[in-house]
Chain A
Amino acid sequence: MTQLALVIDLNVCVGCHACVTSCKEWNTSGPAGSMCDDNPYGKDPTGTFFNRVQTYEIGEFPNTETLHFPKSCLHCEDPPCVPVCPTGASYKRKEDGIILVDYDKCIGCRYCSWACPYGVREIDEHLKVMKKCTLCVDRIYDETLPEAERKPACVLACPTSARLFGDVHDPESAISVTIREEGGYQLMPEWGTHPSNHYLPRRKTHQHIHEDELQRADNPLKKEQRGPSTPIDAPTLDDSTSW
């Protein structure tokens, strides 16, 4: 069994929206047809996106931390959106676990978007069908592309490599190891949807230096009151030869 998924490292995401724009660019130009985009430069821009980045402030000034939070379809292992679809247009692929919408079968009833607690399904208000992240299914298997480029557009675009792509069912895959070792977690675990996409938490690097670490306390020569050859505060050989 394969379950393709993304891992998003919130520790390195800088909120640049490159994943958002590259996703829209790739998918609006794809064989599945355009993604609507009304008034992109006007007063009330609106449109369909598979991926959006939101920004949260954690804590109270001055102790705040900014969190940029990209969110696209999490390709749940137990997706609540799939069984509710009355037409079978929404389905989860057996071979790689990607959840897709068959745009030719979708009747645009929006019920699947009600059934998704994450709000990652968006109806295309022009084509009147439900749209969502495909993990760039038209790209990751394209053998005309160099192997390194057979990844979702958002992953390739991320300038800080905050997005990793791979198989979460393979315990030795790079992203499985990352999830295990870096504390990867799932969103809204309370609903039992088992999202395949994982997030890596913000991690702070702390260094605490104890006072006794500044001066070596357990120097045996010092303990025996025997200086090396000169008093301990006298210029050393290093000082005199450091020219």
Chain B
Amino acid sequence: MHPAFSVIFLTTLIGVGQGIFLALFTGQSYSAVELLPTQDSTRFYGNAAFIALGFLIGGLIASFFHLGHPERAWRAASQWRTSWLSREVIVLPIMMGLVFIYAIMHHFGWDSVLLTTDTGAQLSLTLIIATLGMFTTFALFICTGMVYACLKFLQEWHTPLTIINYTLFGTASGFILMTAFANTSAPDLMNFYGIWASIITLAVFVTRSASLIRNAQIKHKSTIQTAIGVRHSRIQQKSMGFMGGSVNTRDFFHHVSLIFMTKMKWIFMVLVFPVPLMLLWMGMETHSTALLFAAFVVQYVGLLAERWFFFAQANHPQNLYYQTV
């Protein structure tokens, strides 16, 4: 497939936003049961939630560049019964709404403790919103992943690993950014987020490696023989039926060399995993926001490369009909 930059930015940006929100939910629920010290509502939760909202809005804006008729985008909410894309279109604004509510509630301190247990654990209104937001966040990860994983003949995508990777990549990048953010406004939580960010990054290293190994061994079900229905081991295309290109030759081929593909794979494998982990560790040791932020930036750039590779690697069966491209 030809990687579209709008979709690359959409999936990576909302991933960061979702990851930040999951980090906030984790932080607040840990502090509700007094495993972590309570943080300032406005400076920490409020501001971080606004940052998450910013990433989500950025992703939404990027997605509009993919559409031929963005003015009709509202129609995309109508087919949620069958279309994962439609479900994503519904869940994303719901999540943005919940993050917005969560952000202003913390910003203005509109919160109240609804319940206190004997052990001192407190159930507050914002934690309920955060819990709803957490479920919506996972729903959004599932929708985003399923948009790709549900296309069964794109065999590189048609695996549960697609959803797992989308979830873990987004969460990892969000947690790394939150580590940097916590270093400035909630130093108590810096190590907590940093360690979780490392664990999630290591986990996604395992799952992404698994999908790379899987995809390297894929035996494609469709062949030129099934595509045109001729049983002969030697079939060559002599003419694709037109002289110039077409949408079919531009949208479904990545148009780069195999060497370039291999390079991209190693670039993202280095930029997403070892470099950010090292910067993260150094930043946590030295309490340097710059190093922690650099870890996020490097990983985000790596994620752009990862998403590019994810699209480029998918081999669409329609390409069997265009072998002279």
Contact = CB atoms under 8 A, between A and B. Distances in A.
Contacts of B251: 110, 113, 123
A56 to B, nearest CB: 5
B227 A106 contact: no
A86 B224 CA distance: 31
Nearest to A105: B75
A107 B69 CA distance: 5
B76 A55 contact: no
Contacts of A107: 67-70, 72-73, 75-76
Given A44-B245, A58-B232, A107-B70, A86 B316 contact: no
Interface string B66-91: 11111011011111001111100100
Interface string B2-23: 0000000000000000000000
Interface in A71-87: 71, 80, 82-87
B89 A114 contact: no
Contacts of A49: 242, 246
B114 interface: no
Nearest to A114: B151
B320 to A, nearest CB: 9
B237 A109 contact: no
Interface string A148-191: 00000000000000000000000000000000000001111111
A227 interface: no
A18 interface: no
Given A88-B78, A107-B72, A57 B238 contact: yes
Interface stretch (A25-33, A59-67, A138-146, A212-220): A59-67
A115 B70 CA distance: 21
Given A52-B242, A109-B68, A87 B227 contact: no
A115 B229 contact: no
B120 interface: no
A187 B227 contact: yes
Interface string A14-56: 0001001000000000000000000100011111110011111
A88 B82 CA distance: 10
A129 interface: yes
Interface string B44-84: 00000000000000000000001111101101111100111
Contacts of A114: 1, 151, 154, 316
Contact of B69 (A71, A117, A129, A199): A129
A105 B72 CA distance: 7
Given A106-B68, A188-B227, A56 B83 contact: no
B256 interface: no
A123 B221 CA distance: 26
Interface residues of B, number: 57
Nearest to A44: B244
A71 B229 CA distance: 12
Interface string B235-265: 1111111111111100110000000000000
B78 A86 contact: yes
Contacts of A44: 244-245
A55 B239 contact: yes
A196 to B, nearest CB: 15
Contact of B234 (A39, A59, A69): A59
B238 A86 contact: no
Nearest to A51: B241
Given A39-B244, A55-B239, A109-B68, A191 B318 contact: no
A110 B246 CA distance: 14
A145 B221 CA distance: 44
B89 A86 contact: yes
A220 to B, nearest CB: 47
A62 to B, nearest CB: 13
Given A46-B245, A55-B241, A84-B85, A108 B68 contact: yes
Contact of A87 (B72, B236, B245): B72
Contact of B76 (A45, A47, A87, A128): A87
A199 B252 contact: no
A81 to B, nearest CB: 10
A116 interface: yes
A20 B70 CA distance: 31
B317 interface: yes
A111 B1 CA distance: 12
A53 B241 contact: yes
A116 B319 CA distance: 11
Contact of A59 (B69, B86, B232): B232
Contact of A86 (B76, B240, B246): B76
A187 B226 contact: yes
10 contacts: A46-B246, A53-B241, A58-B235, A84-B83, A85-B83, A86-B85, A117-B317, A119-B319, A128-B68, A188-B222
Give the 9 A-B CB pairs with smallest separation, nearest first.
Answer: A108-B68, A119-B318, A128-B68, A83-B82, A86-B86, A86-B76, A87-B75, A55-B239, A45-B244
